[in-house]
Structure 1
Amino acid sequence: MKAYISAKEVYVMGRLATIVSVIGTAFASAMAYGFVSAGLGDNPQTAPPSAKPLAFSPAGAKPTLTDTAAFASGPSEPAAPNRFTRRIRDILGSVDLTADEKSDQLWKILESHAREPAIARYLLDSMQFIKPTNKERVIERVEAALHHGAQDDGVKRALINLLSAQFEHDASIAAAAETQLSGNPLVLASLRKAANSNDHATAHQAVLQYSRLGEVQDSLTRLDTARSNGTINASEYVREIGFHLPLIKDPAQQQQLLDRMEDSGLPGQELAELLATTAQLPHALSSLSSASLHTIRRVLADNPPAFAVDLLDLDVLALARYNRWASASSAIANALSGEPIPDLLATLVMLPDADPRALMAVAASPMSEPVMQVLTERGLVNDALQRLDRFESAPGNTAVASGIVADIRAKLTRRSARQSP
């Protein structure tokens, strides 16, 4: 069995943990209470490749110059969106085509629409769901396209993502051995080449994708270089280090990386949010040293998420942000002291200076029932209800806010009644 996981796997699982936290808490709560927040999409500049591609078949022919000539050609005919997307789906879903044939057909369509950025990105993103056995052909196409004029930055990033998606994962072997699987050295070499490009969009995306695929120590070195020459910014640098941190076995190096993160110049709350994500990555609590956990706990404690000054500002993302911070803080404290997480969360939301929205955030999370049980056992139901009164009685309160408070109030009251003799 594989003793540890690759940087890519940690990144993907970390992203999934974050998505579950935001969607499972904020969005589910929003749906329950009748409101949602717009604009919850991945940044196209930093979004990772799609999930593990589908099965693939034998390789196709060698590429020719005509494969990439259209990338440098003049304007192409606009595509009819509905017919176009159906055609892509038909190719992807065909059982009569090998993966290499699907790749060839999609690339041929791309040649005709390379000057239409939205369509080109859609095609390139679609190609991530297949993995031809002839990786060299894909790599040559991507490199030629980058060199010969995919002018739109989004298309360049999509090309890098397609390149990264060719990396083959095998959970049955060690991460170091994964880099030597057939075709993977070609992918990593091409990403290293792209990371040294003079084109910012190309180098930027290649550095990030290499970080999520390559050997950890080499990735850290490249991140340092990219940060120093301006290819990536401080926030990206800190985030990538955070995803590598649980893979570092040496406690001294863990602390060194945490020091770099603290010295990055990021605002305290942004640093705390990134470290909260790190703390909730798979195996983070078991792989990080006690000293590292204490450092992360201190940063989180010194930088709690802030709610809007206006008590009536009930932002779904703010609730999710608080819940992520509180979950990470309590998980670390649990790892260090063994105190139950529901007890720790109940203490956090009932601190004298805690915003009533902190209670609302946790009460709308998957930890709702255990935390309410603790509040009941501690005899704090009335105190909790008084905090909700502060929010509910604020002038100009909305029906939505009142509905949320009423729901939490009912849960607390019912639980308290069941506990009464």
Structure 2
Amino acid sequence: MGRLAAIVGVIGTALAGAIAYGFVSCCQADNPLTASPSTKPLESSPAGARPTIADAAADASEQSEAADADRFSSKIRDIVGNVDLTADEKSDRLWKIFENHAREPEIARYLLDSLQFIKPANKKRVIERVETALHQGTHDDGVKRALINLLSAQFEHDASIAAAAETQLPDNPLVLASLRKAANSNDHATAHQAVLQYSRLGEVQDSLTQLDTARSNGTINASEYVREIGFHLPLIKDPAQQQQLLDLMEDSGLPGQELTELVATTAQLPHALSSLAPASLHTMRRILADNPPAFAVDLLDIDVLALARYNRWASASSAITHALSGEPIPDLLATLVMLPDADPRALIAVAASPMSKPVMQVLTERGLVNDALQRLDRFESAPGNTAVASGIVADIRAKLTKRSLRQSP
């Protein structure tokens, strides 16, 4: 069961990741939004570095010096976790350390990421500090992105009020105005991150206009543009505008497989299917049907990412059809994986997903267990199959057989 459990875990994680959008800084310029907060140890200090720099940095006149990695990160944690300090005092202390380490990208990003978790009362001061740092224009691109992330983190969220009202909370207009200003920066890294961060803060119509401009001038690429449109799509109430956005997604020039991934992600956003018009759902289902995920030509290839990709596609397709017709999702998934021309790995993908039990139950009720086992035979008996692949198939076979026996009279 270990192999199958591992696959279930990976597929489940991939599904969760498909609807999650991270916004912490990253050292890779081509993927600033998907990295997790910096938790890896900082690089070793050069010879002669003073290990007490975190203490000395409290004095604004202190020169920047590299700190011992462990002591440095420990000092940051001590400041953040100090219950005797107010949020503003924590913010002030960390910012002073940042000023002394602003030219050391990894340390600077670490500090800025830490600052995102502090919510000072004086957000205006944070905004002013970020703007001043950005206008210096000499930071590493990753630091610029982290500064934008810190700026966005000052936006106050309140789930009890509408998004339109949320944008009018005391400091939120300042945050939005500062992000709009940054989005028009001549610096690509700053403008790029500001456009994407602004897109997530509730100003839907304004964001769509900004995204169009950013796509036209090359600030964001086609994939980012379509992803952001997909994020906004369920927030649009007008069916005609929903369809217009779907048309833009289709006309973006993205390869079919990538477009399908983004549409599947949109379908799995919270409340997406209940907020989209039937015509929009039909369009999304057609896009998914026109671009099914492909497995490797080599039948021996069990790629966990390919299994997760198929599962996202199948889950999104089934969820959309369920929203339109009311047909149970397990029934729809069972039909998909048992189509005459379906790759046997489709069955493996779903059988190793969180929907495994209800789908296997449907297969049993339909009398399709033997057919399913034969599909696994085709895969398991392929010459040269690996022990891992055979083990995964064996796990699924055992589950199907056990369920079939329980259903026997």
For the superposition of Structure 1 and Structure 2, which TM-score range results when normalised by the shorter chain? 0.7 to 0.9
CA contact (8 A) 1:25 1:366 kept: yes
CA distance in 2, matches of 1:120, 1:367: 43
Query: Which residue type is aligned with residue 12 of structure 2?
Result: T
Deviation at 1:328, TM superposition (A): 0.4
CA distance in 2, matches of 1:365, 1:390: 21
Q: Equivalences for 1:90-101 in 2 at 5 Å?
A: 90-101=78-89
Root-mean-square deviation (CA, aligned residues, Å) is 2.3
Selected match of 1:25 from 12, 23, 44: 12
CA contact (8 A) 2:330 2:359 kept: yes
Pair 1:87 & 2:82 matched: no
CA contact (8 A) 1:124 1:159 kept: yes
Q: Equivalences for 1:6-405 in 2 at 5 Å?
A: 23=10, 25=12, 44-47=31-34, 76-405=64-393
Q: What whole-Å deviation, never above 9, does each CA across 1:166-185 have from its counterpart, x for those lacking one?
A: 00011111111111111111
Deviation at 1:281, TM superposition (A): 0.9
CA contact (8 A) 1:26 1:316 kept: no
Deviation at 1:214, TM superposition (A): 3.8
Q: What whole-Å deviation, never above 9, does each CA across 1:10-55 have from its counterpart, x for those lacking one?
A: xxxxxxxxxxx98562679xxxxxxxxxxxx9975224998xxxxx
Residue 37 of structure 1 corresponds to none
CA distance in 1, matches of 2:353, 2:344: 15
In 2 relative to 1, CA 26–235 (structure 1 residues): closer, same or farther, beyond 3 Å? same
Query: Which residue type is aligned with residue 184 of structure 1?
Result: N
Q: Secondary structure at the match of 1:394?
A: coil
Runs of 4+ in 1 over 3 A off after TM superposition: 21-24, 41-44, 47-50
CA distance in 2, matches of 1:378, 1:409: 17
CA distance in 1, matches of 2:96, 2:304: 43
Query: Which residue type is aligned with residue 194 of structure 2?
Result: A
CA distance in 2, matches of 1:362, 1:103: 47
Q: What whole-Å deviation, never above 9, does each CA across 1:259-301 have from its counterpart, x for those lacking one?
A: 0000000011111110101111111111100000000000000
Deviation at 1:312, TM superposition (A): 2.0
CA distance in 2, matches of 1:97, 1:122: 20
Deviation at 1:109, TM superposition (A): 1.2
CA contact (8 A) 1:44 1:154 kept: no
Query: Which residue type is aligned with residue 321 of structure 1?
Result: R
In 2 relative to 1, CA 150–48 (structure 1 residues): closer, same or farther, beyond 3 Å? farther
CA distance in 2, matches of 1:119, 1:413: 55
Q: What whole-Å deviation, never above 9, does each CA across 1:352-405 have from its counterpart, x for those lacking one?
A: 111111111111111100000111111111111111112212222111111111
CA contact (8 A) 2:29 2:141 kept: no
Query: Which residue type is aligned with residue 274 of structure 1?
Result: L
CA contact (8 A) 2:163 2:202 kept: no
Query: Which residue type is aligned with residue 260 of structure 2?
Result: A
Gaps of 5+ in 2: 1-7, 16-27, 38-56
Residue 13 of structure 1 corresponds to none
CA distance in 1, matches of 2:295, 2:68: 46
CA distance in 2, matches of 1:208, 1:230: 13
Q: Secondary structure at the match of 1:155?
A: helix
CA contact (8 A) 1:342 1:370 kept: yes
CA contact (8 A) 1:48 1:209 kept: no
CA distance in 1, matches of 2:122, 2:231: 30
CA contact (8 A) 1:254 1:292 kept: yes
Identity, % of aligned pairs?
84
CA distance in 2, matches of 1:274, 1:244: 12
CA distance in 1, matches of 2:313, 2:11: 15
CA distance in 1, matches of 2:205, 2:66: 45
Query: Which residue type is aligned with residue 212 of structure 1?
Result: R
May I ask how many residue pairs the two structures share in their alignment?
370
Query: Which residue type is aligned with residue 246 of structure 2?
Result: L
CA distance in 1, matches of 2:341, 2:232: 35
| TM-score (ref. length: structure 1) | 0.84
Gaps of 5+ in 1: 1-20, 29-40, 51-65
Q: What whole-Å deviation, never above 9, does each CA across 1:83-106 have from its counterpart, x for those lacking one?
A: 111111111111001001111111
Q: What whole-Å deviation, never above 9, does each CA across 1:211-241 have from its counterpart, x for those lacking one?
A: 0014110000000000011000000000000
CA distance in 2, matches of 1:135, 1:24: 40
Q: Secondary structure at the match of 1:345?
A: helix
In 2 relative to 1, CA 290–22 (structure 1 residues): closer, same or farther, beyond 3 Å? farther
CA distance in 1, matches of 2:272, 2:297: 34
CA distance in 2, matches of 1:220, 1:49: 26
